[in-house]
Amino acid sequence: MNIKIYHITILIATLIAPFAMGEEKPAAHQDRDEAMRNMEVELKGVSLNEQRSKVGFEHEMRQLELQRKRFEVEREKRSLQEPENPPRGSWGPEPGGPGRGGPGCPMPGKPGCPGPLCPVFMLFCLVVNVLLAFWVSRDIQQRKMGSRIWIAIALLTGLFGMFVYALVRIGDRPV
């Protein structure tokens, strides 16, 4: 009987001992708990990265909005500093450019004058008008017909007056 009590005590001790000593959980439970902790850490990392991305995006949007407002303010400053531009002709240069009444331009301060070429162009037109008037004068002298008024018309109207003279001259040909 003593042996039986001894065996029962050992049996009970072996059954109760693991719980009394805080025996570790089986390996499957440890792996699962570790996997759960890893997933929680990973989820927190993803959440943190997501928050960082969101904050970075909001920061970038604020920077872009600030830059847009700076451009608007700069545009407003420029529009307040410059006087309102008068309407330009279809072939004139940009307002404030070289065509704003350069030296020798007949219309100082007006758009539409072709800048530094304005005096050259005007001189060219004057020379052409004088040459046309000279040609009309010589033609009248050679034909010994016509009036000297055509010289003044050719001088004042240029090519248009010369064409009218040529039409009248064709009609005056002796047959």
Q: What is the pLDDT of residues 4-26, one digit of tens each?
A: 676 677 767 666 666 655 555 56
In this prediction, residue 154 has a pLDDT band, given cuts at 50, 70 and 90, of confident
Q: Check if the beta carbon of residue 115 is closer than 8 Å to that of residue 102.
A: yes
Percent of the chain whose predicted confidence (pLDDT) is above 70: 65
| pLDDT (tens digit per residue) in 134-143 | 988 898 888 8
* Nearest by Cα to 170 from 146, 135, 154: 146
The reported pLDDT for the residue numbered 73 is 93
Provide the CA 98 distance to its chain's centre, in angstroms: 24
- Give the DSSP per-residue string, the chain: -HHHHHHHHHHHHHHHHHHHTTPPPPHHHHHHHHHHHHHHHHHHHHHHHHHHHHHHHHHHHHHHHHHHHHHHHHHHHHHHHSPPPPPPPSS---TTSTTSS-TT-SSTT-TT--GGGHHHHHHHHHHHHHHHHHHHHHHHHHHT-S-THHHHHHHHHTHHHHHHHHHHHHHT---
Is residue 132 a contact partner of residue 162, using CB atoms and an 8 Å limit?
A: yes
Q: Is the pLDDT of residue 99 over 50?
A: no
Amino acid making up residue 108? P
